[in-house]
Amino acid sequence: MSRSARRAAVALGLALLAAPAGAADGEGAGPPPLPRVKPDRAVVVGTGGVSGFFYAAGGALCRVVNTRGDGPVRCLVRPSGGSLHNLRLLRRGRVDFAIIQSDWQARARKGEGRFEGRPLESLRAVLSLYGHAVTLLARDGSGIQAPADLAGKRVNVGEAGTLQRDLVTTAVNVVGPGMDALDRAGDLAPTAVGRALCGGRYDAAGLVTAHPSGLVQQAAARCALHAVPLEGAGRDRLLKERPALSRSVIPGGLYPGMTEAVDTFGPRAVLVTRAAVPERLVRRVVARVFDNLKTFRRRHPVLERLSPPGMARLGLTAPLHEGAKAYYEENGLR
């Protein structure tokens, strides 16, 4: 992609995708249930809100699936309330595929959290898309350059009961000084982070989002901010214990004043399906994506850094669907 085209794509992504992963793609209440679509008419992919990353990734997916290939496949994107809503639709057979966060995938499969007593045993993994990053923003002049510096500081960790708060508090406990060491732990919504940081109400704030992020762009335009690396032995142990999470990098040069890449971690956006979806159909969808990977990556800035090995492995905690497994084994990816 040329420099000018990349700038235009990033600008478009930032304009459209101001909502964070937890709100737009993970935990929204969602619209009413979708109408049934006969399997012989179309493949339906549950995504997220129309201004979110999931919807954009689903559109890119259907574009490449609908390219000419070995037989017709008509792929349709359907907006939804995000991960939890998509899993409910998938359970009821109202969509054929769904994009969800990998931590929701793990909970649904194991019957944890909102799926306690009702594990989604038919859930099958297809491929890994892009990473969400636990993004710790600190105000310049706050004295926070590393997670240990959070001790005695005012830190917004997110709204109670959200996976975003779970991940940010996990980062503070595992990589940083621990929640008890903070002066104050805030519960503001992601959309309030920029104003709170730049107004001096908090010294730092955690977000869970893909990049480029409209929220980070807006916050960094208000005042001088920097992202704090979340790395080290504690982070590495966490990733071994929670395979739904993986290493993530916030690229440098996306936001004002943030020129260096920052190492962190987070969940993945993953494509899942049901065991009952035909093997041949799943294999064809996977093959279309990998056969047109360059085109797929150009469809949106969050897809630019995808690599075949990562797409076949990262964050896929549910059993692989047999159609995906066959493709990966035939192409040396598993």
Same domain, 274 and 254: no
Both 52 and 143 in a single domain? Answer: no
291 and 321 belong to one structural domain: yes
In this prediction, residue 71 carries a pLDDT of 65
Q: Say whether both 138 and 251 belong to one domain.
A: yes
6 membership: H or E segment, kind and range: helix 3-16
> How high is the pLDDT of residue 4?
44
Nearest residue to 190 via CA among 156, 167, 144, 154: 156
As for how many domains the chain has, the answer is 2
pLDDT for 73: 78
How far, CA to CA in Å, does 327 sit from each of 69, 289, 291? 15, 11, 11
Boundary (domain end) residue, out of 244, 267, 290: 267
Same domain? For 109 and 174 the reply is no
117 and 23 within one domain = yes
What does the pLDDT read at residue 334? 83
Residues 111 and 143 in one domain: no
263 touches 232 (CB < 8 A)? no
> For 45-59, what is each residue's pLDDT tens digit?
999 999 999 999 999
Nearest-angstrom CA–CA distance, 227 and 263: 9
Residue 42: predicted pLDDT: 81
**Residue 124 and residue 27 share a domain:** yes
> Do 55 and 145 belong to one domain?
no
SS3 (DSSP) at 123: strand
Sheet (strand 154-156) strand order: 184-186, 154-156, 204-209, 133-139, 225-228
In 3D, which of 183, 119, 123 has the Cα closest to residue 156?
183
Residue 16 CA: distances (Å) to CA of 33, 51, 228, 280, 295 = 24, 5, 25, 35, 20
What is the predicted pLDDT for the residue at 67?
84
State whether 242 and 278 are in the same domain: no
Any idea what the CATH number is for the domain that residue 22 is in?
3.40.190.10
Which residues in the chain come in under a pLDDT of 70?
1-41, 69-72
Residue where a domain terminates, one of 267, 290, 305: 267
Domain that holds residue 167: 133-267
* pLDDT number for residue 113: 87
Residues 80 and 188 in one domain: no
Same domain for 154 and 241 = yes
Radius of gyration of the chain (CA): 19
